Structure 1
Amino acid sequence: MHPPLAVDIDGTLTDDARALDPRVVDPLRSWPAPVVVATGKALPYPVGLCEFLGLPVRVIAENGGATYLADDDDLTFHGDREAARAVVEAYRDAGYDLGWGAVDLVNRWRETEVAVNVDQPLDPLRDVAERRGMRVFDTGYAYHVTTPDVDKGVALRSVAERLDYDPAQFAAVGDSENDAGMLDVAGTSFAVANADEAAKAAAGDVTEGSFADGFLEALDRIRGAR
């Protein structure tokens, strides 16, 4: 029997240029248990991914700040976007920028957090966030200013309950510090080889392959364990 699956997008389902690897499509579509797409991206991205892949929409977005399940048609939000905005405004006042250009599509649809481009200085952002009781996730693709008690692990516990599973029944695959909570909560978890140290420390195992190669390897190992 296959376990339900929670999987990150960037760095896990993609190649090193952040393009979705086409080899992940069929394995995701054919997985015989619920698949939850768990990402730091704003809600429209994982919803769109599920729609285009033909998967039931089951998503964790914004590092746990937003969850939606087609099963119960319930959209929930956790976190304090106004507090996150206050952090980035103080960051701007100190002479820094979010780094997304004139049209900020990265934050356009965010409901619970704010993301800053990794080209911008991280230490001053973390300093401002800590002074205001907020947290910064460095995903390798963006710096996410979010509420400390919100992460993918907390969201996975909620999603599992709504799907009538124990979180320990889930298998999870990810690559970044924002996946660490999810990898820790899941009963079976893999960090792909390109993962950062936080993800590797939280995961039960680390794949030999990187990016989508690692994800496909993880699925093979999950199947083999059943």
Structure 2
Amino acid sequence: MMTNLFSVFDPSTTILNLSLNWLSTFLGILLIPFSYWLMPNRFQIIWNNILLTLHKEFKTLLGSNGHNGSTLMFISLFSLIMFNNFLGLFPYIFTSTSHLTLTLTLAFPLWLSFMLYGWINHTQHMFAHLVPQGTPPVLMPFMVCIETISNVIRPGTLAVRLTANMIAGHLLMTLLGNTGPMASNYIILFLILSTQIALLVLESAVAIIQSYVFAVLSTLYSSEVN
């Protein structure tokens, strides 16, 4: 039963042994060129306002030491993750963000680049981060170990948080969807349908929140190395 349940996340659409499911990750790129030559509609105006708000917030998080244009990277990251999260809410569409293959691929290079940049250019600053201010001398070796471990597991927590949230909601919706055809009573069917709609609204909120959390935490990790 568990194998069949989790198999809804398996990439299964193939042509000539080429997995077509992962191509859905890049469908959002097809929408970008239209914004350059079409007259802006209400959706584009709203989206531009959202991007501008995110730019201001990420600029605040990065502080005065942040590099110009660095917010573009985090806004693009937010857009990519949110688009794929919403894409997975449609029936029979592959959810790429529910796989560590994608989330860890996004989180690990980001974290590694921040660490390399920080340790090469701001070595003393990075050493100072290992011992919080006001730590007693006796506890310093333990704090260095704790801070090092918490720093090393950051890409894993970023990736697993996004993957687990995507899997959890989709599993609940799959379980309720499978019990719907077996419901003999109309009242039970109505309750299942109402719960499905509520879960769909919740998952839509989770799709936005998790992409925002991923982008904000990446921004905070970047601001620590400056």
TM-score scaled by length of structure 2: 0.22
Larger Rg: 2
TM-score scaled by length of structure 1: 0.22
Q: Which has the higher helix share?
A: 2
Q: Which has the higher strand share?
A: 1
Bigger RCO of structures 1 and 2 (CA < 8 A, at least 6 apart): 2
